[in-house]
Chains A and B, each alone.
Chain A
Amino acid sequence: MELNEFIKNLANTFEDANPDTIKPDTRFRDIEGYSSFIALSIIAMVDEQYNVKLTGDDIRKSVTVKDLYLIIKSKM
């Protein structure tokens, strides 16, 4: 799994986020349009794309995009 590819997939879970504006140290909760529903979309995307079960606790303890990426990578 590549970080850049993950960022593209993450951007796709938002209604209209530009992947170019999302960096590894971006706080994903600060991305325009983030909501509890987007959190579910992220869990679904990670399940579909990486076959990894991301829990609510994984999301809660993550702050940046890279935090999420590292958790997913550790579960692969």
Chain B
Amino acid sequence: MAFLHIPNVRMAGISACVPRHILENTQYKFFTQGEAEKFIESTGVERHRVANDDTCTSDLCLAAAEKLIFDLKWNKSQIDSLVFVTQTPDYIIPATSCILQHRLGLSEETVAIDISLGCSGWIYGLYVLSNMISSGQLRKGLLLVGDTTLKPCSFEDKSTYPLFGDAGTATAVEYDKDADGFKFHLAVDGSGYSAIIIPDGGYRNRVNLSSLDIKEFEPGIKRNKLQTVLDGMNVFSFGITKAPESVKKLADKYEINLEDVNYFLFHQANKYLNEKIRKKLNIPIEKVPYSLKNFGNTSSATIPLTMVSEIAKDLTTKKLDLIACGFGVGLSWGTVHFTTEKLVIPEIIEY
């Protein structure tokens, strides 16, 4: 069982950066009469942010990181670890974390790695980075997490395009010998790998002439094989089962009283699915913030973005007991329990 307690690390701050350009879900032509309203009611997504053609996930994360480093008053020469989590990197090779070390002006003596995960990515990235720092051999780390999920989505696919949004985030983690750190439950089920997939473009199915053929799967769903396929039913069935189970497992293992937790930060999949999870765990609605309405499902960025956009005031002024749970593409999922005290959180940045 993948239960992991990583002590002697603390979260110092979080920032988020979203593209300036807003698209309203009432505007799309792929929705038939009344369909947009139904979509908004069930998913909770009214609008979303879309990055322009020149903007990559790394640009959004870079802007978020620069502002956070400035507000934390960290000296860049002290930062010795960088984990970048995304499924929309700058290039197939090299790893984007290498480029980010240079663009951020960090020391050559920095450990920098990429992780390819989506909905569960912030949880896994936090595990890897906090584990790197926990022994005290590395001291200050940046967890840069985000996606420009709309880039690989077909503009003519009503099952993906109106749901997702683009965002980049930065989370600062540092060594603290007195900190209790983070407690994780992490899990994976690769039998569900095709539930969210871009079929072509990797090395299993290399780009070929037919990769760009556009096929209509049903009215309002047209895409090619370099675009994201979302099997909504399988993801839903997975989410309502595994997310609450993971939270319960973590609570049982570490004897966490769920009533003592101030906020539950769930990956923002869609409102209907997330509300099922909340109700299964009997959590009052005021403890479960949502950023879906204005930002949509921003893949790996949903949890830190929700913290910055919805509960920054409490995070910056209070001591809080938190549980965060990410679940999705992979299929991969994980839950973390931690406390925060007066986090540094800059205003949300528009790029």
CB-based contact A37/B236 at 8 Å: no
- Which B-chain residue is minimally distant from A56 (CB atoms)? B233
Residues of chain B with a CB closer than 8 A to A44's CB: 236, 240, 276
Residues of chain B with a CB closer than 8 A to A47's CB: 237, 240-241, 276
- Measured in the bound complex, the distance between the Cα atoms of B234 and A57 in whole Å is 8
User: How many residues of A are in contact with the other chain, CB < 8 A?
Assistant: 15
CB-based contact A56/B237 at 8 Å: yes
CB-based contact A43/B233 at 8 Å: yes
Residues of chain B with a CB closer than 8 A to A17's CB: none
CB-based contact A56/B272 at 8 Å: no
Residues of chain B with a CB closer than 8 A to A36's CB: 159, 232-233
Residues of chain B with a CB closer than 8 A to A35's CB: 38
Residues of A within 8 A of B (CB): 35-37, 39-40, 43-44, 47, 53-57, 59-60
Main secondary structure of the interface of B (DSSP, over half): helix
Residues of B within 8 A of A (CB): 38, 42, 159, 195, 231-234, 236-237, 240-241, 272-273, 276
Residues of chain A with a CB closer than 8 A to B276's CB: 44, 47
- Measured in the bound complex, the distance between the Cα atoms of B272 and A35 in whole Å is 15
Contact A56 B231, CB 8 Å, known A37-B42, A40-B236, A40-B272: yes
- Measured in the bound complex, the distance between the Cα atoms of B279 and A47 in whole Å is 13
Minimum distance in angstroms from A15 CB to a CB of chain B: 11
- Measured in the bound complex, the distance between the Cα atoms of B237 and A39 in whole Å is 10
Minimum distance in angstroms from B159 CB to a CB of chain A: 8
CB-based contact B237/A43 at 8 Å: yes
CB-based contact A43/B42 at 8 Å: no
- Measured in the bound complex, the distance between the Cα atoms of B40 and A37 in whole Å is 12
CB-based contact A40/B241 at 8 Å: no
CB-based contact A56/B234 at 8 Å: yes
- Which B-chain residue is minimally distant from A51 (CB atoms)? B241
- Measured in the bound complex, the distance between the Cα atoms of B241 and A57 in whole Å is 16
Residues of chain B with a CB closer than 8 A to A39's CB: 233
Residues of chain A with a CB closer than 8 A to B237's CB: 43, 47, 53-56
Residues of chain B with a CB closer than 8 A to A43's CB: 233, 236-237, 240
- Which A-chain residue is minimally distant from B195 (CB atoms)? A56
- Measured in the bound complex, the distance between the Cα atoms of B234 and A54 in whole Å is 9
